Structure formats: C-alpha cells, structure tokens
Structure 1
Amino acid sequence: MNSPTATINGITIRNHDKPYEAISPQRPELSQQGRTVLVCGGSAGIGHAIARNYCIAGASSVVILGRREDIATAAALKLHESYPNTVATARSCDVFNRDQSQKVWDDLEKEGIFIDVLVVNAVGEPALLPILDQGADRLWQDFENNVHAPLYLVERFYKQPGHTKQKFVISVSTQDIHRWDSAPQMPGYQLTKSSFATVMQQVARDTPEEKMRVISFHPSIVFTESARKTGYTEDTLPWTDENLPGGFAVWAASAEAQFLHGRFVWSTWDVNDLMSGELRDQIESDQWLLKVGVRGLFNINRYRTDQEPPSAALGEPLFPQHDQCPDKGGCYFVKSSLPPDEQVKYYPDNLQESDLDQDGWNHVAGPDCGHNGAYNGHRISLEAMRGCNTFQCLVYKPEDWTPQTNDEDFESKGKYFLSGLGDDMPSRDMAWPSVFPHRHDVDSPRADECIWNQDEADEYAMPFHPTCLEIYKRVSLKRNGVVDIQGLTLWWRRENTYDDFHHFPRDQDVNDAQEQWWSHDLGNEYLAANPCLIPGFQSLLQSCQNSDTTDFEPAGTTSPTHASTNDPFAKLPPEIQHSILVHLDFKDVANLRLTSRVFLQLPNSVLYELTVRNTPWLYEAWTSRPLSFWATTTQAELEEQWESTCDVLRSANPTMPVHQLSRTETNWLQLQIEISRNWGKLLGLRNRRRIWKDCEEILNRVDRIQAQDKTT
C-alpha cells in the first residue's frame, strides 16, 4: 500500500491507495451529465477505469479509442451494458498514427459530435537503452509518440468547430517526470513524458481556464492486464486500486478542481487536503507550484548540519540519494513531514535497505559530504548565505508611472524602477516570479536575463541579486564618479540574446555550476556567499585600526640605520621608489621587501594607494556609501513585516551604513595580511571580488556600446 501521507512543499497531506468519498463519481458535485468524453487507450487498464468512472458520473456519451477494434468494441459494449444511461462507443485508432487520428476527428466533425472531455492516456513503448546507445532517430520516435501525437489530439480537441462550452483536458502522466531516479532504464520515456507535461503547462498558460482546463496527473501504480502479462503478480508491488485514478480523473473535470489548471498532481493525494488549508493557499499564491521546471542561479540549496535546526536548510525536500554520501561520513536522512522531536535518523546504509517511499526527505550532511544537490552546511554558514536566493528587477517605466517616497534617485530620473523582492525564481517556461512589495503596482515582473521578443522588449525586466547591484554601484562610482544605472540597462538591452548571456566571460566556477540545476560543487561554496554582509569581516577590519599614524613596520623587522651599498634601490630618490611601489601588487611588494631593506618600512600612504588600486573591491577603504535597504532584507522578511505595518510601501526605506576605514589610522599592510590569512573563511569577500570583475566587464561593454552609438 502507499504511504498514508505525502509531503508537498513542506505540508503533509493524506495519501490514498483506494477510492474514497471525495472522488466518488456518484457525488452530485462531480456529475458529468450532458458531457461527451473521449478516452484514449480506454479499452483496458487505467484508461478503462477512467471511462467506467465517467459512466458512473452520468456522462451522456463515452467514446473509447483503441488500437484493436475488437477489444475496444468489447470494452465499450461492457460499459454500455453496465451503465445503460451512457452511450458507450468505440473507435479504432492508433493515436501514434497521424492519418488514423485525423480520421477520428474528421469523422466526429462530420457526425456532429462535440467532445467535452479529452482523456490523454497513451504512451509509446520506450527503448531500454541509454540515449546515445539507442540513437537520435529512436529517441525521436519517443518524441513523436509521447509529445507530437498527443499534442495533435489536444489541438484538434481545442479547435472543434462550433464547440462553445468549456473543455477539459485530463492528461495521464507519470511520477517519472519529476522522479528521475525512479526509472533510469527508460531515459526516453522520462524525457518525453516530462516534455509533454511541460507542453501541457504552456497550453494551460496560453488558455484561460474557463475556455479549456488542463490538468496532468500521476495515476499511481495500478495492477493491469498488461502488468500481469509482463510477469507481475498482485503481490509484486503495493498496487493502487484502478478506481482511484478513475475517480480522480472525474473529479479533475469538476468545478472543485478549477484551481489546478495547468498543474501536475498525483491521483493518490487527498483532494480535500488539496482544496483547503495552507496547501490551497500556496497553490493559489505560487504560480509555479506543482509544475515541471528548472530552478537556476537564484535558487540555491543548503544541507543543514546535525547541530542546526531544520530551518537552517535551504531548498525543498529531496529524494534520498544515499549512494552519493561518503561511507561513514556522518550523513543521514529524516522525514521532513515529522516534527523534529519525532524524527528518526536513517543512515545511508539503512535507507538503502529500507522499502520506505522516497518522497519528502531532508538530507543532513556530514562534514565530508560532497553531494552537489546543495552546499554543505559544514562548509558555509546560513548567515554567510543570507539573501542568496533573493532577487530584484529593473522594470521599464510605463507612461503613467508616478514616483514613490521610497524611490532611489536613479528611479526618479531614469527609465527604469526597482521591483519588490522575490525569494524564489521559477523557470521561464513556468511563470513569472512573484515579488513583494508590489512597488508601482508590479507584483509579477517578466524577469529574464534574455529578451526573446524584441518587439516586447519594454515588457521584460532585468533580474539581479540586490547585493550584486550594490557592487555594480561601487564599481561605477569608482570608475566614473557616478552610479550609472542607465549604462547597466543599456548593456542589458543591447546584449540580451541567449548567446550573449552564455558567452559573457564569467568565472569558470560559475560556468561549471550552471547546469540544468545549479551544481553545488564542493569548494565553490563562496558563489552563494553574501558579498556585502560578510560574517566576521567587520571585526577583522576594526582589528587593523591603529591610533599610531607612523609608517607601518611589521613586527619582527628592524629598519637598517643605513642603506646597503649593494642595494640598487637605495640609490634611487624617494620619488622613484614611490613610483615603483604604486605599480606593484601586494605579492610583488612582499617579494621586494625580501630583496631590499629600503622597503622594509613602508609608507602607510603608499600602502593605502596600493590597497585602492589593487583591491578596489575592498570598498570600505575608499567609500562610505551606505547599502541600499533592498540589499539587507528578503521577500519573506518584508511579508512578515507587512503583517504589522505597511511602512515598507509608504516611507523611505532605511539604508545600512558602511564604515569607511581611516586612511591614516589603518595598517593597510596588516589588513592585507589578515585578509590573506583568513581568505578561506571570508567567502563573501571572495564572491565580492568575482562580482566586481563581472561588473568591470559590464562597464567595459557599456563604454564600447556608447562609443559605437556616437559614431553611427
């Protein structure tokens, strides 16, 4: 039997393996009276169970499509005898054959038959080989069968001439579209079924629910005649009663399921729990929940340690991939649906031998775990990762745009304004993100690093991390003396194609991580570290403040009383010595001090110049510009604040002061030594340096674009 509960987005609901009252086709609320239903693959198994439940629900007519006319006709006759109030008929059709599918729809049109509910329930037999072993042509056959063929059915269904009532597409999908470890022997099946589920999401996105509802669902594992012929018995697996997906398919075409338009669900999930409470609220507020998609740069995961509470983990519960944990590495798994005091630790070896269902686990990482599904909490703290999933957008001003009291200066004067904050970025094929607050009435900006339709360029919004924008402001200020947001948006508008985005010369660590899902590679935790709010960094800066303003000489060194006659640098005048120093980096200066006593006692003013020139990303050395309010908070924090006050929308938001180091009272060489000594711990500073380099490249490109514009 199935697990009695399932966990969805951290919420536990009931899980079934037999039909129950809420999906009973005999409920008046689920009546299908007056509707004509077309069931693909309705001769046997799950398809026949769905057809039978529609008959029980009072459908006026049920049309069964089957490859073999004799079997389909017998199945329809059986239904008609059992449910005489429903006209059950059969039509011979191999839905993978375009000519036969076209003939079915052409015949229905000629006969004046309108289909109200289309049940897409057919799958081509996959090759049990890796993709490159089966070859491109064989894989494409799966795409023809599992994407092209069913999409043609949906297209003809949608375009029925003269059909004016609401239509319903009920797509029988599979758990394998999101459980990629469940059927690795059938890669073509998983790939194409996932593709069709994504196609249905897009169809739903393009089509108002009141015109045509689209719902995809996993029917669970049902014991069918096909399973029997394959060698399975009723005791082989924890089978689900076929009337459970049968009743669910009827419920999906009822008024109660309206809120699931475009979603993917399991037929085993309790529909009362779906329809009510916190989960219903999440579904209605989260446009991409229960949809297939990709999470990318703005969605970073973190495994908590054994000493941290569950809230220290970032990301969603996952399937237990125990085989990727090191032997005796201290990793274990817990059920996310249970309270902390009731959770049982399942170590990889135990989990491998268990028969527990694989949904809703949390991975607690040991010190040596290098699984790339999340960053290891032993290697980066939650504090260091603050805001790593938070994003904001620059949105083009509409003609009726009016200023707000909390606008930044560039918003009032320029062509773009800042959106609210978001903590979860969906894939572009799912939905646009939600943000808070709804600044200038924007709650879901069309965020994308690429502009796919130039005719709609003004409708796109440029996404970024608020902390990254703070770094850009300082790079611009250092280079040009002003914060040039107009230049930033100019670059985005000019270099906005897919190739532009992926050919930008980013750090190799970023390129390595940018796979379909973000690859949390061991040793690259710094990529998720906050570049502005760095744990321990302020205390390090303060430790290098020195009331003694004399030139700094490191401990353990003694200045010579006279210059060596063999030291060529001693013969140079101070002005040239100074010129040499300011053209070196700190590593060269350290080597120079080993070769010449002239440079043992370094002028603090020169060390300051070296700091600003060689490490401009250490902006505390040269500016006190405060951090924007948006770089100091998250969407979740603002929404929590909204519960008690709406000042986040009305008033100017407070900035965070940045303490500028004293030019004369800071031991600049000591500061560089401390940074070098603690570099492995200062993950945010390492990330700041990386972001600074990217921003310098952006400004280089802005300069080139502006120069080209002047010559044309």
Structure 2
Amino acid sequence: MAESTNSIANLERDGMVLQYQFTPTMHREMYTAISPKNPMNSAKGKNVLVTGGTRGIGRSIALSWAEAGAAAVVITGRAEKLLQEVSDEIKRVNPNAKVLAVRCEATSEEDVKHLWAQMKAEIGVIDVLVANAGLSSEMGLGFPAMGTLKPSQWWYDLDVNVRGTYLQIHEFLQQHIVNGKEASGTIVIISSIAAALDTPGMSAYSMGKLLNARMAEYLHVDHPSVRSFSFHPGAVATDNVFPALRHMFVDPPEMAGGLSLYLSTPRADFLRGTFLTVNWDVEELEKHAEEIKKDKLLNLGFINAKLGPEGHPF
C-alpha cells in the first residue's frame, strides 16, 4: 500500500513535467553529464555574464560557473546587498575567479551600455552570456485574464523579458561587430515551458518566453558563428509559485547552471538554435543528434497543419 501511495504521489508531482518530456529519461535532480564537477563541463578560461544573478536560478547559474572554474563571473541585479552577497559566495567557491557585480536595470539601455563598458575595461571579452533576468508579475497578481490589466502593467513583463534580453544580446554581439569581426561565443537564453502553454492569466509571461526562444532561433539564422540556445530551467520553487502547486516544483536551480555549462561545450553543437528543458537527458539527446538537426525536432513550429503546395492532406 505504501508503494502504491508513493507512486501516486510521484505521478502527481511529476505530471506537469512528464507531459513535456522528450527523452525517455526524466531528470529532477543534478546528474553527471551536466554537473559542474564533470571535467567535460570545465569553464576554465571563460568569462561569463549571468544577468539576474542575485537570487534563485540566476544565483545558482553563477555559482555553477564558478564551481566549473570560470576565469571571470559577472552578475547583474538591482539589489546592492544581494549583489555583494552572491559575489562573496562566488569568491568562496572559486577564489581564482575575477568577480564583477553590477547594478543594472534590465530595461535601461543606458545601464546595459554602462555594464558592457565596465566589463570591457575590467574583464575583456565576454565569452558566454546567460540571459536569465526575467519577470512574471502576473503570478503575483492572481493570474489576471488578458485585457484586465492596465496596458502599461501588462507590457512591463514583456519589456523586461524581451527588451531586456535583446539589449544584452545586442551588446554581446557588438564586442565583435564593431571591430569588423564575425561574432562568436555562446548565448544561452532562459526561456520557459510556459512558451508552449495556454495557461489562463499568463499571457504576457508566456508570450515573452516564446519570444525568448525565438531569439535563440534567429541568432542561429542571423549569426551562425554564435552558439545560441534557449531552455526551460525546470519547475523550480521560486517565490512566485502558488503554495497549492509547490509540491510539483522540486527541480533544483542548480540544474539550470549545469545545463548552461553543457551548452557552452562543443558536445552541444547539434542543439544550436533550439529549445530544450533541464529535465531531458542530454546523453540521450546526443544519440539522436542527426535526427534532431535534420528534422528540426527541437525548433519551434508555426502550426500543426502540414503546409505545402497541395494544402493540408485532410
């Protein structure tokens, strides 16, 4: 009876993740293939910027890069106290890393330009951008139906999640383009499975995260020498999660850090321009690399109908 009860509990906990599972193996805790402790995920010699790196998923991503031996870890946020606290944590994890913490408003073009000027002066070229800074205010507002919020309030989420991400991408590319060189490096955009959902009361967030995933695809098309990816960081128990749903949000934020490390390595080249989630097994993905690339299995689709000269085959 105990085993049966436990299975039911596990099914209820994992149900939300299972319905979007691509690989047979589902991970809900850190595993070797993406671990910062795995030498194959070494960040030695790399300079990384993690936006929104002062709490939750962003903090864990920054610490993962420190643990993997990054040469420099830059974090942004709005709270000076948290910036200092996470900086100190990074230094404890990796005393050899150069650490830079910059207060930056995600939607401020002036702030972002200042950030990149400071990094150029103190760090040099940023090899990896992890665009994590984001917002989901609709959850805290009780999931209001589309059209019930003031336009400015509804648009604010899109402004942070889309414009804020674009500002960082733009400056990342300018490192090379202004010098007449072809852009290079890795851009990892934190999207969400919400991009694929029609969840009532989450229109701004879902649309923003969909656009985040499309950004990675467009980067791959427009700048093929840049390694671009987007991914869902898992069902992580952030402050915005409704208490009634918290039992489903058990993915540790460290998994997002581990996956960002994996995506920065050549092993992930077959996933460039795609969307994936931390719950999928990367080694199982590798076994189907050619099929994933050829059939664009992890690229966003337009609609499910089969479009072509003869129309949909009804």
Q: For the superposition of Structure 1 and Structure 2, which TM-score range results when normalised by the shorter chain?
A: 0.7 to 0.9
Letter in 1 for 2:67: I
Give the corresponding residue for 1:173. 191
1:192 partnered with 2:208: yes
Give the corresponding residue for 2:164. 149
SS of 1:215's equivalent? strand
How far apart in 1 are the matches of 2:272 and 2:64? 21
How far apart in 1 are the matches of 2:136 and 2:209? 12
| Structure 1 residue 109, shift from structure 2 partner | 2.8
1:215-272 Cα distance to aligned partner (Å, 9 max, x none): 1000111134x35xx7749963341122222211111111111111010000110011
How far apart in 1 are the matches of 2:175 and 2:90? 26
Letter in 1 for 2:109: R
| Structure 1 residue 4, shift from structure 2 partner | 12
Give the corresponding residue for 2:14. 2
Contact conserved, 1:4 with 1:14, CA < 8 A, in 2? Answer: no
| Structure 1 residue 3, shift from structure 2 partner | 6.2
1:220 partnered with 2:234: yes
Q: 1:250 to 1:174 in 2, by over 3 A?
A: same
Give the corresponding residue for 1:294. 302
1:130 partnered with 2:160: no
Q: Which has the larger radius of gyration?
A: 1
Give the corresponding residue for 1:326. none
SS of 1:160's equivalent? helix
Letter in 1 for 2:206: Q
Give the one of 65, 81, 89 matched to 1:70: 81
1:268 partnered with 2:279: yes
Contact conserved, 1:169 with 1:214, CA < 8 A, in 2? Answer: yes
1:84 partnered with 2:92: no
How far apart in 2 are the matches of 1:93 and 1:235? 30
| Structure 1 residue 171, shift from structure 2 partner | 0.8
Give the corresponding residue for 1:464. 309
Contact conserved, 1:174 with 1:219, CA < 8 A, in 2? Answer: yes
| Structure 1 residue 30, shift from structure 2 partner | 1.3
SS of 1:81's equivalent? helix
How far apart in 1 are the matches of 2:16 and 2:202? 28
| Structure 1 residue 139, shift from structure 2 partner | 3.3
Q: TM-score, normalised by structure 1?
A: 0.39
Show structure 1 runs of 5+ residues with no match: 300-388, 390-424, 426-462, 469-526, 530-712
| Paired positions, count | 295
How far apart in 2 are the matches of 1:233 and 1:79? 33
How far apart in 1 are the matches of 2:183 and 2:204? 36
Show the 5 A alignment for 1:444-455: none
Give the one of 17, 22, 27 matched to 2:28: 17
Contact conserved, 1:259 with 1:284, CA < 8 A, in 2? Answer: yes
Q: 1:294 to 1:221 in 2, by over 3 A?
A: same
How far apart in 1 are the matches of 2:16 and 2:133? 29
Contact conserved, 2:53 with 2:133, CA < 8 A, in 1? Answer: no
Contact conserved, 2:104 with 2:112, CA < 8 A, in 1? Answer: yes
Q: TM-score, normalised by structure 2?
A: 0.84
How far apart in 2 are the matches of 1:5 and 1:70? 34
Give the one of 287, 292, 308 matched to 1:283: 292
Give the corresponding residue for 1:203. 219
Q: 1:7 to 1:102 in 2, by over 3 A?
A: same
Letter in 2 for 1:464: P
Contact conserved, 2:52 with 2:134, CA < 8 A, in 1? Answer: no
SS of 1:141's equivalent? helix
CA RMSD, Structure 1 to Structure 2 (Å): 2.7
Give the corresponding residue for 2:4. none
Q: 1:140 to 1:293 in 2, by over 3 A?
A: farther
Give the corresponding residue for 2:256. 245
Contact conserved, 2:23 with 2:280, CA < 8 A, in 1? Answer: no
How far apart in 1 are the matches of 2:209 and 2:170? 18
| Structure 1 residue 6, shift from structure 2 partner | 5.2
Give the one of 16, 30, 34 matched to 2:45: 34
Show structure 2 runs of 5+ residues with no match: 1-12
SS of 2:73's equivalent? strand
More helix by share: 2
How far apart in 1 are the matches of 2:123 and 2:52? 23
1:490-544 Cα distance to aligned partner (Å, 9 max, x none): xxxxxxxxxxxxxxxxxxxxxxxxxxxxxxxxxxxxx854xxxxxxxxxxxxxxx
Give the corresponding residue for 1:507. none
Q: 1:63 to 1:186 in 2, by over 3 A?
A: same
| Structure 1 residue 51, shift from structure 2 partner | 0.8
Show the 5 A alignment for 1:396-435: 425=307
How far apart in 2 are the matches of 1:12 and 1:270? 6
How far apart in 1 are the matches of 2:63 and 2:123? 24
Show the 5 A alignment for 1:684-695: none
How far apart in 2 are the matches of 1:213 and 1:145? 23
1:115-168 Cα distance to aligned partner (Å, 9 max, x none): 111011121343442332225443333332221121010010111156878411
| Structure 1 residue 193, shift from structure 2 partner | 1.5
How far apart in 1 are the matches of 2:242 and 2:282? 33
Contact conserved, 1:4 with 1:15, CA < 8 A, in 2? Answer: no
SS of 2:175's equivalent? coil
How far apart in 2 are the matches of 1:101 and 1:223? 29
Work out the percentage of aligned pairs sharing the same amino acid: 27
How far apart in 2 are the matches of 1:290 and 1:97? 32
